Amino acid sequence: MKLLVETLFPNDMYIDVSGFSVSVPTSITYIFEWIFHIFFITVCTLWRRFSQPRIQDFSLNDPQISKRHYPNNQTAFPIIALFLSSIALPFGLSITTTYFNKQVYSKKQLYWNIHVNCLSTLTANSLQVFVVSILKNLVGKPRPDFISRCSPDYNLQLPTPSRTADVSICRNNARGRVLQVGFQSFPSGHAAVVSTNFMMLFVLLAKNLKVFKSRDSISGFVYGIPIFMILLVNSTSISDHRHFMSDVIAGDVIGLASSFASLGLYYKNPLLLNETSYLKPYGPRRFFLNRVSQQSASSKLNNGDIGEFVFDEDIDDNANQNKANSDETKDNHYNSDREQPVASLKLSSFLRNGKE
């Protein structure tokens, strides 16, 4: 990606957006990232919906797959409720709580935090949708209500109790949507979606509301929101006879793993739960570093010059290390804030000459 961008743009270019001078090459990489994840989620969802899962033989006398089938409009947690509570709500709360911290962050940092919050949540969903879609069609596990979906034709010669049957005895078409979905029990897509989005919501709320810094009832309430929603969706998936307990647990594991993987891509120290280091987003990616020496970067950083200077991940570690060594000789107050110039410098190179 870096080589492609530097080939298309021999020099860094800037455009004015709402009073900010924004780097065009950097913006293009993030626009591409947004488009890619939205497209990828759409493709995986359509593939899971319209492709045929692996068809398994089954026993007509198996009580585990003989539960009643509830139509979608009779389930306790329909798809529209899942979308509103598990996707729209986390995105909305994440943006809202970040915006309410505008007295803490500069305008540049505020917009950047909202962008990173939403993009990291989108990336986590992209990961979980991919894994869930592959496993659902590859495993082909019957749902608890599979016999009801099948609606066996008992006028046919049925297999003996000791033998398994296949879909040829089903009244419902083997290629029909109702029957095919009956072979997509593992893992639970509902559980994966809700665990992914509410875990992302939890860590972002924990940062914006500073629950690790406070000891009041708000902290417990913030902790309780994702746990309650995850338990609610999981329990209704079981009570609606859509999934087994093992399906739900697998979906939760996939969702949690996807969320933490995404947090690691966009945030520093996502698991270090303290008020100074918790969930700091990485700065914007930068290009054209061949025109900037590491010595110059270190010199400007140590001198506190964080103006319009191109900064990038490639020199981030060296600059941080040099600054850390320099700060060892200074007082504790300045030492505790030494990461702030790095973040300001990185963001200033992306949004130049911005109005605060």
Model confidence band, residue 176 (pLDDT cutoffs 50, 70, 90): confident
- How far is Cα 345 from Cα 188, in angstroms, rounded to an integer? 44
Alpha-helical regions (H) of the chain:
2-8, 24-50, 79-83, 89-99, 107-139, 146-150, 177-181, 189-208, 217-239, 245-266, 294-302, 313-327, 332-336, 340-350
Instruction: Report pTM.
Output: 0.77
pLDDT tens readout for residues 144-168: 999 999 999 888 776 666 688 889 8
Model confidence band, residue 110 (pLDDT cutoffs 50, 70, 90): confident
Residue 86 has pLDDT above 90, yes or no: no
Q: What is the pLDDT of residue 77?
A: 79
Model confidence band, residue 12 (pLDDT cutoffs 50, 70, 90): low
Cβ pair 188, 248 in contact under 8 A:
yes
What is the average pLDDT across 337-341?
42
Instruction: Copy the structure tokens of residue 36.
Output: 């890619």
143 compared with 313, residue with greater pLDDT = 143
- How far is Cα 149 from Cα 329, in angstroms, rounded to an integer? 73
pLDDT tens readout for residues 124-139: 999 999 999 999 999 9
Q: Is 161 helix (H, G, I), strand (E, B) or coil?
A: coil
- Report the share of the chain in percent with pLDDT over 70: 65
Closest CA to 201 of 254, 277, 125: 125
Cβ pair 75, 82 in contact under 8 A:
no
Cβ pair 168, 174 in contact under 8 A:
yes
Most confident among 110-124, 151-165, 239-253, 333-347 (mean pLDDT): 239-253
Question: By mean pLDDT, which of 50-59, 149-158, 224-233, 292-301 is the weakest?
Answer: 292-301
Q: What is the pLDDT of residue 46?
A: 94
Q: What is the pLDDT of residue 328?
A: 46
What is the average pLDDT across 202-208?
78
Show the CA angle centred on residue 66, arms to residues 63 and 70, nearest 5°.
Answer: 145
- How far is Cα 147 from Cα 149, in angstroms, rounded to an integer? 5
What is the average pLDDT across 251-273?
87
State the average pLDDT for the chain: 76
- How far is Cα 180 from Cα 240, in angstroms, rounded to an integer? 17
Residue 249 has pLDDT above 50, yes or no: yes
Cβ pair 17, 353 in contact under 8 A:
no
- How far is Cα 165 from Cα 159, in angstroms, rounded to an integer? 6
